[in-house]
Amino acid sequence: MLSKLLIRGATILTMEGPDAIIETGEILMEDGWITHVGLPGSAPGYFDMDEVIEADGEVAMPGFVNCHTHAAMTLLRGYADDMSLMPWLSEKIWPFEDRLTGEDVYWGTMLACLEMIKSGTTCFGDMYFFMDHVARAVEKSGIRAVLARGMVGVAPTGAAALTESEELVKNWNGKADGRITAMLGPHAPYTCPPDYLGKVMDLAAKLKVGVHIHVAETRTEYDDMLKQYGKTPVQHLDSLGLFKLPVLAAHCVHLDQEDMEILAQKAMGIAYNPQSNMKLASGIAPMAKLLDLGATVGIGTDGTSSNNNLDMLEELRAGSYLQKVGTMNPEVLPAYRTLQMATIDGALCMGLGDRVGLIKEGMRGDIILVDIKQPHMCPQHNLVANLAYAANCGDVRTVIIDGKLVMLDGAVLTMDEEKVMAEAQERAMRLAGK
Amino acid sequence: MLSKLLIRGATILTMEGPDAIIETGEILMEDGWITHVGLPGSAPGYFDMDEVIEADGEVAMPGFVNCHTHAAMTLLRGYADDMSLMPWLSEKIWPFEDRLTGEDVYWGTMLACLEMIKSGTTCFGDMYFFMDHVARAVEKSGIRAVLARGMVGVAPTGAAALTESEELVKNWNGKADGRITAMLGPHAPYTCPPDYLGKVMDLAAKLKVGVHIHVAETRTEYDDMLKQYGKTPVQHLDSLGLFKLPVLAAHCVHLDQEDMEILAQKAMGIAYNPQSNMKLASGIAPMAKLLDLGATVGIGTDGTSSNNNLDMLEELRAGSYLQKVGTMNPEVLPAYRTLQMATIDGALCMGLGDRVGLIKEGMRGDIILVDIKQPHMCPQHNLVANLAYAANCGDVRTVIIDGKLVMLDGAVLTMDEEKVMAEAQERAMRLAGK
């Protein structure tokens, strides 16, 4: 039997285009698929519904797609801040991560999924380790995810990471009712030498999965790559043939004109992480230019040790404002364009653009309901500007992922919120040696 | 008889210094004054309390001080975005403002006060017009405010604005149980010629009030002033003797080294408006340098047509991150320093540093309670980092201003929230010609 879920009374922001807004409408989901989007009373089979959500005064829009994070790093939130990159990594982050167990990663990821669901994120792109535990947390929480085992070619774990990546793909790609997709995650060009990247590329081609990689995040990386290979990070990767595969390139802060053209023409997608780039003082990524060149750009929060939350509304706003001041042009990344980046374009960046990111017949039902009857979104001159520039994550009231109710009016249905926070707190304190 | 209010069980972030945190404590307020801050059970006269607030799992901290805004511009939220400055002002903002009535300004300010209280702001610095109506809204809402009638010397209203400013000071300075302070508000050096500024300075000296002025917000202003007067905006104002008065200088984006030294040594305070400067593409203000030089810097949201909300947690975070990326140094504006800017330093900027911005005996009771038992603030490695970098305005649960409960567990007690939103919505639509 079909499971049928109907949303009634919402204003529908389909994200199919600036004018594709239904003032009051309804959305029918059957077995996870959106099968009807229309005016009030137009959905067939009202009396057969398993669940009807009355959404008067709320906006229905596609859930946010966070296309670059390291979910389990919630355990490091607030553990080290306001430091220069190398002491931050070598004295604080890496020693902490060395002590992580699989169960720690499970609970850290559970906490991240809880926070993401509560703030309206329905899909995330992750790169970390103990990925079997990450996948279990994704399965349990009900969220959608694109998972990659981070692989550091220069580390002793380099060979094992290749094996684990293959296991992740075999065990989890397409699992959790199709909510999990796998990619390969070579960490970065400066941590994965050409021969190692060659192995990664062979494996990706064999397993038919894409590649998620950090690229040109810092000026140091850019300069070091130039010195070592005589090429920029992007041109180095291009010369190795990486972009023949579907590539999600995270950060892309330091680029020359040719780099931008390569990324615009050849990358599946670029993950823009504005708050991480600001907080770590990495730089202002040239996203307005990349968009002009036709690149597909999504938005990511990065991990919570460099952010420090997973709030996509805050992130997309910071992303728009940072481009405006960075280019000294207030017209770039306008409100609607930025919302697209945080939804459908993020999905496209991870190869999921045929499935999520729009409210449209034939897509999976990843939908959030946002309460717009709030002082900070009053008056309602412009719904899109209010969402992009004034809303906050607390306005997200209801979350549906893959056609299933995951949060109803602020209450998460798939996880025990108290238990998740207690486990994360206890493990974080142990790991910090407290 | 004294009115007595006791907060029990909270973690107290006094803002008297990074180590001045009381793990669990209590705060006594009598007739609006903080008369005791101490450990559990230490407050005298428990059984005499008029009100006891149980705050287990919450943090008590000074309310946020928003030291530069134009409150009634809530009516323009989302009315015009993503535009270049001059068409934005001349085609959208100014024609809309020309249609405002005093009652419109009252309801726009009421909406702003509602939004500010809900997001933990207990004091704001305002510059607008129909200030009698602004003051009435401040009185009614229970918030604290420093009010200035914006004066444009080159406008036909220039002379009247001086008279209205004097009336504002006479009618409202020290009123609303002392919650209202008045300043003079010459708009900016490029809209107030030297002779007009001379009149403003004479009036300020006569009335014994400070001056709130926009300074060096855009590159255009900076260049134009150089061309017209052969001096930068700051040096022009200094040569006129403005800084002999207590001056709150808003924006201060475009400065040379001498400007920075003048401001650091002579200005009462500087209002840093990071999100407005980003969204309007005004530039990145050199706040890290100004702080190094010893300047007093507070944080402002600016009006909601260039922001688009009045959320100080979002603003202080953007302020810190923007300085980090702007200076390429992740160590500047660390978490605690940024919280200081949003509380005590903001109070100092407006001449209220002896009254609000700290939780300390002898200060007025402007205190907020923040619920920190939330997934996005878990784990609790560092309370200060969680507040500065991870909290959102929805975490503010209870607000006390001048020793009076203004919001309790999310419910605003001084205003009818539905009525305020309905009035603002109706007036905004009329003003927009809809």
Assigned token pair, B334:
């660390």
* Mutation site for B-interface testing, chosen from A86, A321, A371, A430 by largest number of B Cβ within 10 Å: A321
C-alpha dihedral sign at B212, B255, B301, A280: negative
- CA distances B144 to B73, B124, B182, B246, B411, Å, are 18, 7, 11, 19, 18
Assigned token pair, A283:
């730089």
Q: What is the mean pLDDT of chain B?
A: 97
Round to whole Å and give the CA distance between A10 and A163: 47
The predicted structure's pLDDT at residue B85: 86
Cβ pair B81:A385 closer than 8 A? yes
pLDDT band at B95 (very low <50, low <70, confident <90, very high): very high
Q: What angle do CA A313, A288, B283 make, to 5 degrees?
A: 80
- Asked if residue B234 lies in contact with residue B251, where contact means CB atoms within 8 angstroms, the answer is no
DSSP labels for A337-372?
Answer: HHHHHTTHHHHHHTT-TTTSSS--TTSB--EEEEE-
Which domains, from first to last, does chain A contain? 4-62+366-412 (2.30.40.10), 64-349 (3.20.20.140)
Round to whole Å and give the CA distance between A333 and A338: 6
The answer on pLDDT for A1 being more than 80 is: no
Cβ pair B79:A281 closer than 8 A? no
Three-state secondary structure call for residue A377 = helix
Residues across chain A: 434
- CA distances B374 to A268, A291, A309, B118, B123, Å, are 35, 36, 11, 18, 26
The answer on pLDDT for A170 being more than 90 is: yes
- Asked if residue A314 lies in contact with residue B314, where contact means CB atoms within 8 angstroms, the answer is yes
**pLDDT (average), residues B33-46:** 92
Cβ pair A115:B376 closer than 8 A? yes
- What percentage of residues in chain A have a pLDDT greater than 70? 100
The answer on pLDDT for B284 being more than 90 is: yes
- What residues of chain B lie within 8 A of the CB of A420, using their CB? 375
The answer on pLDDT for B383 being more than 80 is: yes
Cβ pair B325:A379 closer than 8 A? no
By Cβ distance, the residue of B281, B318, B417 closest to A330 is B281
Q: Where are the beta strands (DSSP E) in B14-113?
A: 21-30, 33-38, 51-54, 58-62, 64-69
Please list, in sequence order, all residues whose beta carbon lies within 8 angstroms of the beta carbon of residue A297, skipping any fewer than 6 positions away.
Answer: A269, A270, A271, A272, A287, A290, A291, A341, A345, A349
**pLDDT (average), residues B193-199:** 98
**pLDDT (average), residues A84-100:** 93
**pLDDT (average), residues B234-240:** 98
Round to whole Å and give the CA distance between B370 and B398: 7
The predicted structure's pLDDT at residue B86: 87
Round to whole Å and give the CA distance between B158 and B161: 5
Q: Does A410 touch chain B (CB under 8 A)?
A: no
The C-alpha of B41 sits at a distance from chain A's nearest C-alpha, in angstroms, of: 28
pLDDT digits (tens, 9 = 90+) for A210-246: 999 999 999 999 999 999 999 999 999 999 999 999 9
Radius of gyration over every alpha carbon of chain B, rounded to an integer in angstroms: 21
Round to whole Å and give the CA distance between B74 and B134: 13
pLDDT digits (tens, 9 = 90+) for A266-323: 999 999 999 999 999 999 999 999 999 999 999 999 999 999 999 999 999 999 999 9
The predicted structure's pLDDT at residue A434: 78
- Asked if residue A233 lies in contact with residue A222, where contact means CB atoms within 8 angstroms, the answer is yes
Round to whole Å and give the CA distance between B65 and B247: 17
Comparing CA positions, the residue from B183, B65, B62, B193 lying closest to residue B127 is B183
pLDDT digits (tens, 9 = 90+) for B126-162: 999 999 999 999 999 999 999 999 999 999 999 999 9
Round to whole Å and give the CA distance between B123 and B68: 10
The predicted structure's pLDDT at residue A46: 79
pLDDT band at A47 (very low <50, low <70, confident <90, very high): confident
The predicted structure's pLDDT at residue A136: 98
Q: Which of residues 213-252 of A touch B (CB under 8 A)?
A: 219
In chain A, the residue whose alpha carbon lies closest to the alpha carbon of B429 is A381
The predicted structure's pLDDT at residue A370: 98
**pLDDT (average), residues B386-411:** 98
* Mutation site for B-interface testing, chosen from A74, A381, A416, A429 by largest number of B Cβ within 10 Å: A381
Round to whole Å and give the CA distance between A115 and B376: 6
The predicted structure's pLDDT at residue B1: 55
Q: What angle do CA A81, A82, A86 make, to 5 degrees?
A: 85
* Mutation site for B-interface testing, chosen from A272, A308, A329, A406 by largest number of B Cβ within 10 Å: A308
**pLDDT (average), residues A370-386:** 98
By Cβ distance, the residue of B275, B309, B394 closest to A321 is B275
Token pair 């009652």 is found at: B103
Q: What is the mean pLDDT of chain A?
A: 97
Binding-site residues from annotation of A: 68, 70, 97, 149, 187, 214, 217, 302
**pLDDT (average), residues A327-353:** 98
